A = this chain, B = another copy of it.
Amino acid sequence: MWEFFALASGLISVAFASILFFYVDRHNSGDEKIREISDAIRLGSRAYLRRQFLTLMAFTAAVAVLLILSMGVYVAFAFIAGSLFSALAGVFGMEVATRANAKSAWGSRESRGKAFTIAFFGGSVMGLLVVGTALVGIGIFYIIFKNLDIVLGFSLGASMTSLFAKAGGGIYTKTADIGADLVGKVELGIPEDDPRNPAVIADNVGDNVGDVAGMGADLFDSYVASIVAAMIVGFETMRQYQGGIYVVVPLILASIGIFSSIIGMVFVKLKAGSKPGVALNMGTFSTCAIFIVLLYLVVWFLNLSPAVFWATALGLASGAVMGVTTDVFTSVDKGSVRRTANSARTGAAINILSGFSYGIVSIMPPVISISAATLLSWYVASLFGIKEIYGVAVAAVGMLSIVGMIVSADAYGPIVDNAKGIAEQASMGEGNIEILDSLDAAGNTAKAVTKGFAIGAAALTVLALFHAYSELVDLETLDLMEPHVLAGLFIGASIPPLLSALLILGVQKNAFLMVEEVRRQFKEIPGLMEGRAKPDYARCVDISAKGALKELILPGVVSLASPVAVGLFLGKGALGGFLAGSIVTGIIFALFMANAGATWDNAKKLIESGEFGGPGSEAHKAAIVGDTVGDPFKDTAGPSLNTLITVMSLMASLFGPLIVKFALI
């Protein structure tokens, strides 16, 4: 019965998203010049996503065939549906975002509050679509089949799409960004988002395909995986205790999360004179508060174990802690950023070493808080006498329950970023650009907090999936004294770094081509530098897109094939070790790369604000090198890793029975 409730909540979320869409869409898209730029961005984004999904389809078809052979048609069907739903949430969300940007820019003529509201509600469409379609998808498949293997298939589809969206979008956006910056800002000294820069449209498209569609797909996948993992563990829990509604509790939690997010969005209002960051945080905190109240009522009303309340609340709290510490560690006015900026005075090398090191040091608080969340939720469950891993699984659901709000605040960032870019390209006037600039600054904090949630939730989710895997393949213990487990651990631990390296190489190769193309255009198109001629934007968009898709293939194959290969050649114990190893380094590298990137980025901003020599100084040049190194760290490789470990865990769980059957050992 509760699955129908979840389905209904999902539909309500989608309905509310539609209302917000019409609200945003009825705003004016600005004058002809703005519309022209906005259209170029939208068309470029659409064109790229279309091509990305074509590439993805080849992989989807291959995995679907394997699934039909091993798990039957229904699982394969659910897999395809998961892939489709994830793609749809990304496509629609991006469509709204690429409309909202121009409207927000134009809205800044009316008031700062207007520009803010359009951007935030534009992001909210994405947020609500992500959680809505996820619950609708899970709900439908669970209602029809009542079989968690099939829901697991849905989850794998979502994760695979997410990995491609995240990695492909990440390569795209950083290729364009680095190409535009290195030639435009560094070599020629023209400002960011200058319409003379041939890569500027590609850069704006990149913000959308990377930060909007990519992040949306990423949280869609984490959200689905956390719910599915908790349902699987809940099912085992029910078997063990002969009853209860453990299997649908994750769906109930997700549903109340949706209602909390919708109510929380109402609280997001930018009053005159107040800061946009404060408004966004108000939304997040009120969502959390409402969720806790609803959670308490639900646990009391349904007479659930108090462990459910505590574990869920614990998950949510530790997500918040991770978000906040990440923000503190990498924010502009704090010690490590300040020291990194100062070190830029001795040149690029020392600046890079500094950001690299502080990025690593800052993994410690999240590592400890994830460990603590795992241990505490385990104990809470054990204390109240339910299956311990169920506590961990529910904590992950708790952490992700407010994803609707999180994604809204996150998608707000690229929308205002684009709005600012459009305003500059359309020469809208200083006042408007200043307003949009102030709105843009708040986007970065939201981004840091989102990453904290995404990585923390992935860690707990994958732990639950790890247990789900061991139950599916009948692994009683996973003994590190066994050489297979240890070899698996070792190989698994090297996969996330390997994937990071492959993605960064993708960006690096592509950016190289982009730099050469931008240099070529400035050299060969007469009058471009003087603003008398228009650059060939399409060429740059094409380089970004082609390169991203090409560089996606190898990492995709590695992620999908490596767990299967380890399982087949070294056995199910090794595959268990493999998953454990990949979780650990996946989380460590994800955190390190995100934080190092943010540290370099903010050190650069600190120098641009006039400290340590200010803009144009040698220190500034050095800091730009650091920022460029950090770009693919924080926006390509880092964010792909949590999806990677989810994909690998789901592959292991779904193909587990097949692997056991055909393993050489």
A229 CB to closest chain B CB, in angstroms? 15
Cβ contacts under 8 Å, A549 to chain B = none
On whether A588 and B478 interact (CB within 8 A), knowing A374-B486, A505-B354, the answer reads no
Cβ contacts under 8 Å, A368 to chain B = 491
Other-chain contact of A349, B182, B354, B501, B584 (Cβ < 8 Å): B182
> A467 contacts the other chain (Cβ, under 8 Å)?
yes
On whether A585 and B585 interact (CB within 8 A), knowing A480-B576, A625-B347, A632-B353, the answer reads yes
Q: Interface digits, A457-489 against B, CB 8 Å rule (1 contact, 0 not)?
A: 000000100010010000001111101111101
Q: Are A357 and B504 in contact (CB under 8 A)?
A: yes
Chain B residue at minimum C-beta to C-beta distance from A371: B487
Stretch at the interface among A157-165, A269-277, A405-413, A506-514: A506-514
A386 CB to closest chain B CB, in angstroms? 15
> A628 contacts the other chain (Cβ, under 8 Å)?
yes
Q: Are B364 and A494 in contact (CB under 8 A)?
A: yes
> A402 contacts the other chain (Cβ, under 8 Å)?
no
Tell me, in angstroms, the Cα distance from A512 to B629 when the chains sit together. Answer: 21
> A356 contacts the other chain (Cβ, under 8 Å)?
yes
> A497 contacts the other chain (Cβ, under 8 Å)?
yes
On whether A625 and B485 interact (CB within 8 A), knowing A357-B502, A491-B367, A508-B343, the answer reads no
Cβ contacts under 8 Å, A581 to chain B = 584
Cβ contacts under 8 Å, A515 to chain B = 346, 350
> A580 contacts the other chain (Cβ, under 8 Å)?
yes
Other-chain contact of A629, B178, B353, B363, B624 (Cβ < 8 Å): B353
Q: Are B628 and A363 in contact (CB under 8 A)?
A: no
Q: Interface digits, A158-187 against B, CB 8 Å rule (1 contact, 0 not)?
A: 000000000000000000001000100010
Cβ contacts under 8 Å, A356 to chain B = 501, 504, 629
Q: Which of A178, A357, A626 has the most CB of B within 10 A?
A: A357
Q: Interface digits, A372-392 against B, CB 8 Å rule (1 contact, 0 not)?
A: 001100100000000010001
- Number of copies of this kind of chain in the complex: 2
Cβ contacts under 8 Å, A246 to chain B = none
Other-chain contact of A493, B186, B477, B585 (Cβ < 8 Å): B585
Chain B residue at minimum C-beta to C-beta distance from A505: B357
Q: Are B350 and A494 in contact (CB under 8 A)?
A: no
A591 CB to closest chain B CB, in angstroms? 9
A629 CB to closest chain B CB, in angstroms? 5
Interface residues of A (CB under 8 A from B): 178, 182, 186, 343, 346-350, 352-354, 356-361, 363-364, 367-368, 370-371, 374-375, 378, 388, 392, 463, 467, 470, 477-481, 483-487, 489-491, 493-494, 497-498, 500-502, 504-505, 507-508, 511-512, 515, 576-577, 580-581, 584-585, 587-588, 592, 624-626, 628-629, 632
Tell me, in angstroms, the Cα distance from A182 to B356 when the chains sit together. Answer: 19
Cβ contacts under 8 Å, A592 to chain B = 497
Tell me, in angstroms, the Cα distance from A577 to B511 when the chains sit together. Answer: 41
On whether A481 and B478 interact (CB within 8 A), knowing A182-B346, A489-B580, A497-B363, the answer reads yes
Cβ contacts under 8 Å, A486 to chain B = 374, 463, 580
Q: Are A497 and B467 in contact (CB under 8 A)?
A: no
Other-chain contact of A358, B470, B481, B501, B511 (Cβ < 8 Å): B501
Cβ contacts under 8 Å, A481 to chain B = 467, 470, 477-478
A405 CB to closest chain B CB, in angstroms? 28
Q: Are B361 and A502 in contact (CB under 8 A)?
A: yes
Tell me, in angstroms, the Cα distance from A497 to B359 when the chains sit together. Answer: 10
Tell me, in angstroms, the Cα distance from A392 to B577 when the chains sit together. Answer: 19
Tell me, in angstroms, the Cα distance from A573 to B489 when the chains sit together. Answer: 17
Cβ contacts under 8 Å, A501 to chain B = 356-361
On whether A360 and B178 interact (CB within 8 A), knowing A352-B629, A511-B350, the answer reads no
Cβ contacts under 8 Å, A588 to chain B = 493-494, 497, 585
Q: Are A508 and B367 in contact (CB under 8 A)?
A: no
Q: Are A508 and B353 in contact (CB under 8 A)?
A: yes
Tell me, in angstroms, the Cα distance from A182 to B507 when the chains sit together. Answer: 29
Cβ contacts under 8 Å, A580 to chain B = 480, 486, 489
Q: Are A494 and B367 in contact (CB under 8 A)?
A: yes
Tell me, in angstroms, the Cα distance from A588 to B588 when the chains sit together. Answer: 12
Cβ contacts under 8 Å, A479 to chain B = 477-480
Cβ contacts under 8 Å, A626 to chain B = 349
Tell me, in angstroms, the Cα distance from A511 to B353 when the chains sit together. Answer: 11
- Top 10 nearest A-B pairs (CB, nearest first) are A349-B628, A360-B501, A357-B501, A478-B480, A371-B487, A477-B479, A378-B483, A357-B505, A353-B508, A493-B584
Other-chain contact of A490, B370, B392, B632 (Cβ < 8 Å): B370
Cβ contacts under 8 Å, A360 to chain B = 497-498, 500-501
Q: Are B480 and A577 in contact (CB under 8 A)?
A: yes
Q: Are A508 and B357 in contact (CB under 8 A)?
A: yes
Tell me, in angstroms, the Cα distance from A363 to B495 when the chains sit together. Answer: 10
Cβ contacts under 8 Å, A512 to chain B = 343, 346, 350
On whether A511 and B346 interact (CB within 8 A), knowing A463-B486, A577-B480, the answer reads yes
Q: Are A363 and B494 in contact (CB under 8 A)?
A: yes
Tell me, in angstroms, the Cα distance from A343 to B516 when the chains sit together. Answer: 11
A600 CB to closest chain B CB, in angstroms? 10
24 contacts between A and B (CB under 8 A): A178-B350, A182-B349, A346-B512, A349-B624, A350-B512, A352-B352, A352-B625, A353-B505, A353-B508, A361-B501, A367-B491, A371-B490, A371-B491, A375-B487, A378-B483, A388-B483, A477-B479, A477-B481, A478-B479, A480-B480, A480-B577, A486-B580, A489-B580, A625-B625
